[in-house]
Structure 1
Amino acid sequence: MADHYQVQSLNYGKIETLTYGKRTFQSAIRKTAADEPVFLSKLGLEGDKQAYKDHGGVDKALCLYPYDYYEYWNNIIQNPVKTALFGENITTVGLTERNAHVGDIFAFGEAIIQVSEPRNPCYKLAAKYEVPDIVVKMRDTGYTGFLFRVLKEGIVSVRDELILLEKDPNKVSIATVNDVKFKDRLIKRSWIEFCKQRPCLLV
């Protein structure tokens, strides 16, 4: 069914002090897949933590990343993990930035959740996988993932699907928000690359 989306994994993590290469920081990016049902509150999955104030909160209670992109990243990242590749809470099949809209409402187990905004990739992903430009790649491809707020709390599990209940009437996709958010930077980068091929334009 077009508006039912399979949950590949449901993930939560605790805060750890991690060292990747030369960087040491606190993070809950290493998440564990939950096999048993978990309570989903307004602030996220029970047992899931965030290390910084800009992560989590009522408008960022859940992070989703599409399993559809795992193959793409497997060609870039050495020894990638099979679940919670980018520290997401929900890994789904078929629900991406192009068909998810800000304000869309989904049933998820006993809970009801609403798409709130794109995920903003951070440096920890580059540190974890030792791919310095991975954040740039995420922005350029638009493969950022996105966030949810929780409208109704309840028990959820990996066996539950995400079921679209209501599509926001404005139909502003996460992909569109990403395009607007990163447009100026992409245009500037393309112009610089164009000029490098034509030195006379740099005079």
Structure 2
Amino acid sequence: MRGQLGKVAALFAGSIRPLTPNNRPSGIFKTPVEQAVWIGRNGLEGDAQADLRVHGGPEKALHQYPAGHYSVLAQAFPDVRSELFPGALGENLSVSGWDESTVCIGDIFQLGDAVIQVSQPRTPCWKIDSRFGVEGMTQHIHQNDLTGWYFRVLSEGLVAPGGEFCLIERDPRKTSVKQLLSLWRAHRPSPEALESIAAISTLSPNWVKKMNDRAQQLRHLP
């Protein structure tokens, strides 16, 4: 799969807006980027996140969400079918041909002039249910590994819609995002398996800690 080319279907960025019903500030609302944009260490120029404790930053600089997941969500939530299209879940990047089973932790991609690396899965939160006014979408996304993933930026640069997206390097462990998510969702995974993934040097520090902490908790269970 190394060297596999793709085309950037769309780029998305957005400002902070109130999210109903409580009008809490959120950066989940994105609109298409129509021209070349700079990708810095913290993501796309012009993109904003409301709660920087859990969103944004170098380890979550860019979010990619598989465009094919929207048809899956539309089948599960037909009442909001018309609202389910690329960009609606707050992602920055839409490229066909990639999903959680084909993308691995540590994968390095050329994105326009920038170089980016897969750092961790996305953890869906309550804001998705609020965004669409439905209950259970967040849980459905979590339970079915429809989360997407985040990138860190290794080399800054310009990218434009329709530009090239190419895998240029893969970690020898080849641990897919789906494998990580499936292990994390397991009722009682082996501590050794958790620690093995935590040892991947390209996994974000936050997820390294989560994996190791859970492994320690499991070791103390009867």
TM over 0.5: yes
Aligned position for 2:55: 55
Aligned-partner Cα distance in 2 for 1:156–1:85 = 21
The 10-residue stretch of structure 1 (158-167 or 2-11) with the greater mean CA deviation from structure 2: 2-11
Match of 2:91 among 88, 93, 98: 88
Q: Which residue identity does 1:48 align to in structure 2? A: D
Q: Please, which runs of 5 or more residues in structure 1 have no aligned partner?
A: 186-203
Q: Please, which runs of 5 or more residues in structure 2 have no aligned partner?
A: 189-222
Match of 2:165 among 157, 162, 166: 162
Taking only aligned residues, the RMSD between alpha carbons, in angstroms, comes to: 1.7
Q: Counterpart of 1:14 in 2: which secondary structure? A: coil
C-alpha contact (below 8 Å) 1:5/1:95 kept by paired residues: no
Question: TM-score w.r.t. structure 1 length?
Answer: 0.86
* Structure whose residues are more often strand by fraction: 1
User: How far did residue 165 of structure 1 move?
Assistant: 0.3
Q: Counterpart of 1:117 in 2: which secondary structure? A: strand
User: How far did residue 85 of structure 1 move?
Assistant: 2.1
Q: Counterpart of 1:126 in 2: which secondary structure? A: helix
Deviations 1:69-89 (A, max 9, x none): 121122215131433021100
C-alpha contact (below 8 Å) 2:67/2:86 kept by paired residues: no
**In the superposition, relative to structure 1, how do residues 6 and 74 fare at CA in structure 2: closer, same or farther (>3 Å)?**
farther
Correspondence 1:14-29 to 2 at 5 A: 14-19=15-20, 22-29=21-28
Identity across aligned pairs (percent)?
36
Instruction: Report how many aligned residue pairs link the two structures.
Output: 184
Aligned position for 1:36: 35
User: How far did residue 3 of structure 1 move?
Assistant: 1.5
Q: Which residue identity does 1:94 align to in structure 2? A: G
Aligned-partner Cα distance in 1 for 2:186–2:142 = 10
C-alpha contact (below 8 Å) 1:33/1:83 kept by paired residues: no
Structure 2 residue 129 is matched with structure 1 residue 130:
no
